[in-house]
Amino acid sequence: MMEKMVNIFLFGKRYEVPENLTIMTAMEYAGYQLVRGCGCRNGFCGACATIYRIKGDNELKACLACQTTVQDNMYIATLPFFPLVKQVYDINEIPVNESVMMQLYPEIYACVGCNACTKSCTQGLNVMQYIAYAQRGDFEKCAEESFDCVMCGVCSSRCPAGISHPQVAMLARRINGKYLAPGCGHLEDRVKEIRNGDFNDLIEALMQKPVEELKELYNTREIEK
């Protein structure tokens, strides 16, 4: 049975591709060689930020090309890397209150509440809300609200105030993880064991195994409940 084909437009040029492909695989089907903007190919890295619209609909939408299935008469353009402002700081020395945001990311207080960041988020996050939490120094809520951010930068590309939302969220999650979230004893113990070299022999033995055997070990591993 032949696959159903749909028409898509990549950078203005029409291509006919199978309807079950993602935008990323459709680009490869059309002959594009993806050497940038493809990253993990599983929706975790945010490298494949893409904008599109459907013929007859003027709304411009943002997505990740590796996760989004093509539609008939879809006009597609990938976004270049967006240069976020990334401040340098020592997590061991920063103040754990709202003043840290004023010092490092003061532009968040220029937010005009347009909600363009939320509307453009490829993950469907309430971006404007987690920025509001950051403004108030509520790092725990900011960390929770932004947890699924893949740092694709689409929100920042749409922001009239020039806010680097993903970096603000990253700072909040780091503060929350280091200072606010409850400790995890067994994780701390495991980190000490790794630093002491307790697993060096095991790691070395694993590195000598063929790939197929590693896959079998992974697939039959005992999963902690």
pLDDT, position 120? 93
Domain with CATH 3.10.20.740 in the chain: 5-78
SS3 44: coil
The CATH number of domain 5-78, selected from 3.10.20.740, 3.30.200.20, 1.10.357.10, 3.90.650.10:
3.10.20.740
As a whole number of angstroms, the distance between CA 30 and CA 222 comes to: 42
Characterize the bridge pairing of strands 49-54 and 74-78.
Answer: antiparallel
CB atoms within 10 A of CB 12: 8
pLDDT in tens, the chain (225 residues): 568 999 999 989 999 999 999 999 999 999 999 888 888 888 888 899 999 999 999 888 999 999 999 999 999 998 877 778 899 999 999 999 989 999 999 999 999 999 999 999 999 999 999 999 999 999 999 999 999 999 999 999 999 999 999 999 999 999 999 999 998 888 889 999 999 999 999 999 999 999 999 999 999 998 877
What's the rounded Cα separation, in Å, for the pair 157 and 171?
Answer: 19
Write the single-letter amino acid at 93. Answer: E
- Stated length of the chain: 225
Distance CA 188, CA 129 (A): 32
Q: Long-range contacts made by residues 176-184, C-beta under 8 angstroms, separation at least 24?
A: 176/139, 176/140, 176/142, 176/143, 177/143, 178/91, 179/96, 180/96, 180/139, 180/140, 181/140
